[in-house]
Amino acid sequence: MNLEIGHVARPHGLRGEVVVVLLTDRLERLAPGSVLDADGRALTVTASRAHQRNHIVSFDGVSDRDAAEALQGVTLRASAIDDPDELWVHRLIGSPVITVEGEIVGIIDVVEANPASDMLVLDNGALVPVAFVVEQRDDTTVVIDPPEGLFDL
C-alpha cells in the first residue's frame, strides 16, 4: 500500500528542481535513490536539501523548468516503512481508544494535523493529542495516558 508522503508545490529555478512539501518526518523518503509514486509515474530522487520548511528535490529525468512545472501539484506516495514504533494514520482510523487504566474512551474517526501535536478525533467528539498515545496493540487498540480532566466537559 502506498501512503501519501507529500506533494510538489512548485518548480525551483531552471534546472528541474522542485519544492516538495513533506507530510512525514521520515526524511529518508527524499534520500538519493528513493523511488516515489507521482500519480502513477515512478520518480527517482537524485538529490534533496532542506529549504525553509520544505525541501528542494531533483528527480531523475526532470532536468528543466518545463519538466518541473509539469510536476506542480502532483501527490507523492511511497510504500509504508515497516517500523513497529511508528503510528500510521491509515491504521489508526476505526481503532478503539482506551486509557492505561482500561477505560474505553471512543473510536478514532480521523486524525487532524495540528502544529503542537496531531489530534485523534474520536467518534464522541473528544480530541486527544497523539502525544498521549503510549501504545498501539496488535489488535489495533490505541492506549493513551491522558492528563486528568481531558475528557471532562
CATH for the 2-79 domain, from 1.10.510.10, 3.40.50.2300, 2.60.120.650, 2.40.30.60: 2.40.30.60
The answer, yes or no, to whether residue 150 has pLDDT greater than 90, is no
What does the pLDDT look like over 62-120, one tens digit per residue?
Answer: 999 999 999 999 999 998 776 666 666 667 889 999 999 999 999 999 988 877 778 89
Mean pLDDT, all residues of the chain: 89
Sheet holding 127-129, edge to edge: 127-129, 119-122, 104-112, 96-99, 142-144, 133-136
The CATH 2.30.30.240 portion of the chain extends over 89-144
The CATH 2.40.30.60 portion of the chain extends over 2-79
Q: Report pTM.
A: 0.61
To the question of domain 89-144 being in CATH 2.30.30.240, the answer is yes
